[in-house]
Structure 1
Amino acid sequence: MAARISLIIPTQRRPGPLALAVRSALAQQGVDPAELELVVVDNDSVPSAKAAVERLATEAPFPLVYVHEPSAGVANARNAAMEQAEGELIAFLDDDEEAPPHWLASLLAVQARWDADVVFGPVRARAPARIVRHRAYLEQFFSRSDPAAEGLIDHYYGCGDSLLRRAALVDPKRPFSPERNRSGGEDDLLFGALQRAGKRFAWAPEAWVWEDPSPERLALAYTLPRAFVYGQGPVAHCAAADPPDWAGILRWMLIGAGQAIVYGLLALILWLLRRPDRAFMMDRAARGLGKVFWGKRFRINFYGRTVSDNAGQDIASDS
């Protein structure tokens, strides 16, 4: 019998975190194992995760499928998993996330109650104890929260900790745009298109997961460029409309310019005062700059590196 629900975990050269993520997915409760499958897609140029996944498969109460996608890029990885997955509902978990046993059941319950096409849950980042500098900012940066109670929402988040109804997709097998293979944001493009098509998004506050960011990401040198890219998101959303929403583009660029100036000045003052909370203002200024400089020439690549590049900076996942 084909699985009704497919869990997908993309990975690239992160054996320790991957094992934690996979074991948490295999330990889900409140869902019939006969309806489940887990697809792990390895986006390394060589099948480096294959042996580990095969070992984990011996512990699995439902099918664990290994997919090797050697073509680098986060969209390539997600599409390879989608092609292999059999489920009509697709749950995404990143390889640096750990899901509590109730996670999947909570996503499914909200999807059913609100007839949602996509459901998102909270992410709770946890930094190692050795991280002291900018700890509060870093944990907030990698977390996801929403003040809304359970129910429909008018905005969207990234793929990590989400549930997607395949029937909502124009292309049910390869829905993610390869245009974003290196920069990330392939999920933003997809969910933005679904929003314009009138699809329903829901928030599931009980469907939370832990996130353990890799050590090299726990620094302003990573988060501020990433904040810049996040700032580009709403402008790129307007530009991707057919026809492009030029009024929206101009509005967001003006908002971004104001944010860059105001928060940039506040960040400078806090930096001169050596205030530990300056990182929050720096983040907001970077997001403002991203709204101003949003075109392709300003895109920053975070994904799609080859095996010869620095390990640990090429994970095919995006929270």
Structure 2
Amino acid sequence: MTDLSIVVCTYDRPASLDATLRSCLAQTNALGLAIEIVVIDNHPSGSGRPVVEALAGGASWPVRYVTELTRNMSTLRNRGFAEASGRLVAFIDDDEVAEPVWLDQLVGALRATDADIAVGPRLAVFAGEAPSYDPTGSQFVRDLGLPDLALIPLTAPSGKPRYGLGTGNSLFDVSRCFPNGEPAMREAFGDAGGEDAELFVRLYGQGRRIAWAAQAVVTETVAPHRTAVTYRLIRVRREAQHYVSIYLDATPNPRLTWAKLMAKGLAQTIVGFVFSVMTFEFGSRRRLAGRSLMEHGLGKLLWKRAVGYIAEPSPNGET
């Protein structure tokens, strides 16, 4: 019987997938859990299969490979939940590497707090140079700054999200989070992103408890193209769109909230534009503060026109 399933969703990143899986197989597992790893491959080439087959033979616990070609992140992660046989399901992204005590810390936080979900920090290392607009890399790190084992106050009473959480480095008690066997993620969010942030806010609104596991650390390798100014600005706009959709879904007064968000979006757009002009920021590869503020505003004003998938170069140079 499986106690815990590790789910890794992958899309044409065989080298980083290999590093992710090796870190999962190197877990100390001091709690003595019966563990399995499930890899959900979303790329038509099946580039993840050779990686899984090469590691599975000598692995200390089962490693399964599943193909899911639907281009929708909600469908992909729901498939991960469906394939998992453990009561506990941990997600780690295919560009993340886990510390050896990662699972022990996630499960320990869940048990110590009697929570339904546990999440941990994500650090960042850059495959190229750190971006000059963010030399400390703070934009690429998830650290809530909460004490270890703190319960996360995910939203304010108004429904406003205080934190943006993703499924990378998370652990779910499936029977408590989804007692009726319902799909975890809404497919309407899967085309444009934000599906995992929406899931956390929805579960929190249903009374689920989310624990912060400060010692359950993973490290993400940030590819050079993801630090490019153009990429970051698209991401900012998309994240602002997610924020509006999730906030409106959770607030008890959506009309008033919508009006406030649109007013704030207009102000951010104007102030960001003026600041960018005054500081000659347009065209700069080193500064993006004003343009980032603009994109925050435009994301709110254009929240129904979702950015959708952002083209990512493959190892073969394709997008």
Same fold (TM over 0.5): yes
Match of 1:91, SS? strand
Q: Which residue of 1 aligns with 2:138?
A: 140
1:292 to 277, 301, 313: 301
Provide, for residues 264-288 of structure 1, a one-character-per-residue CA deviation record: whole Å limited to 9, x for no partner: 4334433359987632443233223
More deviation, 122-131/67-76:
122-131
Match of 1:152, SS? coil
Sequence identity, in percent? Answer: 30
C-alpha separation in 1, matches of 2:222 and 2:298:
24
2:314 to 294, 305, 311: 311
1:169 to 170, 178, 203: 178
Does the 8 Å contact 1:214/1:312 carry over to 2? Answer: no
Q: Which residue of 2 aligns with 1:80?
A: 79
- Code of the aligned partner of 2:141: S
Provide, for residues 39-76 of structure 1, a one-character-per-residue CA deviation record: whole Å limited to 9, x for no partner: 11000124331122111112321111111112222122
1:159 and 2:159 correspond: no
Does the 8 Å contact 2:119/2:211 carry over to 1? Answer: yes
Does the 8 Å contact 1:224/1:282 carry over to 2? Answer: yes
Provide, for residues 72-119 of structure 1, a one-character-per-residue CA deviation record: whole Å limited to 9, x for no partner: 221221111111101111111000111111111111111111121222
Q: Which residue of 1 aligns with 2:200?
A: 191
Does the 8 Å contact 2:131/2:286 carry over to 1? Answer: no
C-alpha separation in 2, matches of 1:272 and 1:86:
51
TM-score where L is the length of structure 1: 0.86
Match of 2:38, SS? strand
Q: Which residue of 2 aligns with 1:317?
A: none
TM-score where L is the length of structure 2: 0.86
Provide, for residues 153-206 of structure 1, a one-character-per-residue CA deviation record: whole Å limited to 9, x for no partner: 111501111111212126646312222232111112212211221211221221
Unaligned stretches of 5+ residues in structure 2: 155-162
- Code of the aligned partner of 1:218: T
- Code of the aligned partner of 1:300: V
Q: Which residue of 2 aligns with 1:246?
A: 255
C-alpha separation in 2, matches of 1:250 and 1:312:
44
Does the 8 Å contact 2:281/2:287 carry over to 1? Answer: no
1:149 to 144, 147, 150: 147
Unaligned stretches of 5+ residues in structure 1: 314-319
- Code of the aligned partner of 2:145: P
C-alpha separation in 2, matches of 1:200 and 1:287:
29
**CA 1:125–1:310 in structure 2 vs 1: closer, same or farther (change >3 Å)?**
closer
Match of 2:93, SS? coil
- Code of the aligned partner of 1:294: W
Q: Which residue of 1 aligns with 2:160?
A: none
- Code of the aligned partner of 2:169: D
Does the 8 Å contact 1:8/1:93 carry over to 2? Answer: yes
- Code of the aligned partner of 1:302: Y
Cα offset, 1:37, TM superposition: 0.9
Q: Count the aligned residue pairs.
A: 305
Q: Which residue of 2 aligns with 1:64?
A: 63
Q: Which residue of 2 aligns with 1:316?
A: none
Does the 8 Å contact 2:166/2:196 carry over to 1? Answer: yes
Does the 8 Å contact 1:127/1:135 carry over to 2? Answer: no
Q: Which residue of 2 aligns with 1:223?
A: 232
1:213 to 222, 228, 243: 222
C-alpha separation in 2, matches of 1:94 and 1:105:
18
C-alpha separation in 2, matches of 1:183 and 1:219:
20
C-alpha separation in 2, matches of 1:279 and 1:47:
37
**CA 1:248–1:219 in structure 2 vs 1: closer, same or farther (change >3 Å)?**
same
1:201 and 2:210 correspond: yes
C-alpha separation in 1, matches of 2:44 and 2:180:
26
Does the 8 Å contact 1:96/1:214 carry over to 2? Answer: no
**CA 1:132–1:202 in structure 2 vs 1: closer, same or farther (change >3 Å)?**
closer
C-alpha separation in 1, matches of 2:283 and 2:71:
41
- Code of the aligned partner of 2:15: G
